[in-house]
Amino acid sequence: MRTQVGIVGSGPSGLLLSQLLHLHGIETVVVERRSRDYVLGRIRAGVLEQSTADLVRRARAAERMDREGLVHEGVELFFSGHTHRIDFRRSARGSVLVYGQTELTKDLMDARDALGGTLIYEAEDVRIEGVTTERPAIVYCKDGREARFECDFVAGCDGFHGVSRQSIPADVLQTHERVYPFGWLGVLADMKPVSDELIYVSHERGFALCSMRSMTRSRCYIQCSLDDDVAAWSDERFWEELRIRLPEAAADRIEVTPSIEMSIAPLRSFVAEPMRYGRLFLVGDAAHIVPPTGAKGLNLAASDVHYLSSALIDFYENASATRLDSYSADCLSRVWKAERFSWWLTSVLHRFPGQTSFDRKIQLAELDYLVGSEAAQTVFSENYIGLPL
């Protein structure tokens, strides 16, 4: 078997890339080590930048997103006993769209199925060969048999633990990382949101966030220790701790509802560069991780897809490799700005082990300056809704 672009990973970035290329007559094959049901069962973020939503529309997979997605024109910040709203529309003439990543993945799967896309699930022992040659190949085992196909290019959309980044020699790849000394305990529940918009909380007991997937399903988080055990947290204990950290009006709206899913996620900032080696291109979490505070993970993956799909289309339609050659630099320019914003927001909202009273006062001064300065709110809003591609 041979194709033009081999894609490793069938998360939203791999599916979106495959769909965009297909619409320009470029053949792709997507290889995924997990089952289709497993991919659809992953609980992930759900705040889409305008550019991400526009890219999904270009992929002709936006009908349900546009019908069910929730347009948010601001967020609320709660600290020192007071709530403050940052107005995206006033500050930066923009908005974000709240739409679950699981739903987006399903929409993209359906779009690929409708066009007869080749998606290979439960592919074991995937490896990438010959990326420095003109005919790289993806090799995998399926149903006990080894299979192999050649391609012109390989897109590594297989996440932080995938094989793609590991296929780049250690003496070529440079990595940068910060691991945070806390995690997020998250709950997904069929509960009406406690607010019309997201609430970010900086509390003496730790950070909290109230988000949503729809008007009947909430996603809420509290900062916790990395040593915490999910088994030690009942639904009742989680909701009570969240209620303590929230503003009173929001706390009163909490319904003690059975959780659909509860998990603890560690936080890290990570970047690998370059994002291209030979004919292998890293996309999304394979190249970079951001703490979820700034809602940038999925959106950065989508911006990588934008740059890579545009470069591949230019290559096949105009025989130009210029955009392919600038792919890594184009992506990393945006990646590092998003890393900065996510790091900054994480730093000012969370309580750190060993934090002094001076450290805490600086955090509160940062937040107080933000809510009191139109210029600071413009910077915040521009970064939150997404910098230009």
Active-site residue 384, yes or no? yes
Contact between 245 and 224 under an 8 Å Cβ cutoff? The reply is no
Q: Which of 99, 221, 327, 384 is catalytic?
A: 384
Same domain for 165 and 61: yes
Q: Tens-of-pLDDT digits for all 389 residues of the chain?
A: 899 999 999 999 999 999 999 999 999 999 999 999 999 988 777 899 999 999 999 999 999 999 999 999 999 999 999 999 999 999 999 999 999 999 999 999 999 999 999 999 999 999 999 999 999 999 999 999 999 999 999 999 999 999 999 999 999 999 999 999 999 999 999 999 999 999 999 999 999 999 999 999 999 999 999 999 999 999 999 999 999 999 999 999 998 899 999 999 999 999 999 999 999 999 999 999 999 999 999 999 999 999 999 999 999 999 999 999 999 999 999 999 999 999 999 999 999 999 999 999 999 999 999 999 999 999 999 999 999 99
Q: What is the DSSP string of 14-64?
A: HHHHHHHHHTTT--EEEE-SS-HHHHHH-----EE-HHHHHHHHHTT--HH
Q: Which of 12, 22, 72, 288 is catalytic?
A: 72
> What pLDDT, on a 0 to 100 scale, did the predictor assign at position 1?
83
Is residue 162 in a domain?
Answer: yes
Active-site residue 99, yes or no? no
Is residue 89 in a domain?
Answer: no
CATH of residue 168: 3.50.50.60
CA angle 311, 313, 315 (to 5 degrees): 70
**pTM, whole model, 2 decimals?**
0.96
CATH of residue 375: 3.30.9.10
134/150 Cα distance (integer angstroms): 10
Is residue 258 in a domain?
Answer: yes
> What pLDDT, on a 0 to 100 scale, did the predictor assign at position 46?
87
Active-site residue 296, yes or no? yes
Same domain for 252 and 145: no
Same domain for 133 and 60: yes
Is residue 369 in a domain?
Answer: yes
| Amino acid letter for position 274 | P
Same domain for 200 and 140: no
Same domain for 217 and 104: no
Active-site residue 369, yes or no? no
In this predicted model, what pLDDT tens digit does every residue of 228-261 receive, in sequence order?
A: 999 999 999 999 999 999 999 999 999 889 999 9
Q: Which of 288, 296, 306, 350 is catalytic?
A: 296
Q: Which of 200, 277, 307, 327 is catalytic?
A: 200
Q: What is the DSSP string of 128-194?
A: EE-TTSSS-EEEEEETTEEEEEE-SEEEE-S-TTSHHHHTS-TTT-EEEEEEEEEEEEEEEES---S
Is residue 364 in a domain?
Answer: yes
> What pLDDT, on a 0 to 100 scale, did the predictor assign at position 380?
98
170/165 Cα distance (integer angstroms): 10
Q: Which of 136, 288, 292, 327 is catalytic?
A: 292
Same domain for 272 and 217: no
> What pLDDT, on a 0 to 100 scale, did the predictor assign at position 41?
86
In this predicted model, what pLDDT tens digit does every residue of 178-204 receive, in sequence order?
A: 999 999 999 999 999 999 999 999 999
Contact between 60 and 53 under an 8 Å Cβ cutoff? The reply is no
Same domain for 21 and 116: yes
Is residue 91 in a domain?
Answer: no
Domain of residue 127, residue span: 5-70+99-177+268-346
- Split into its structural domains, the chain has a count of 2
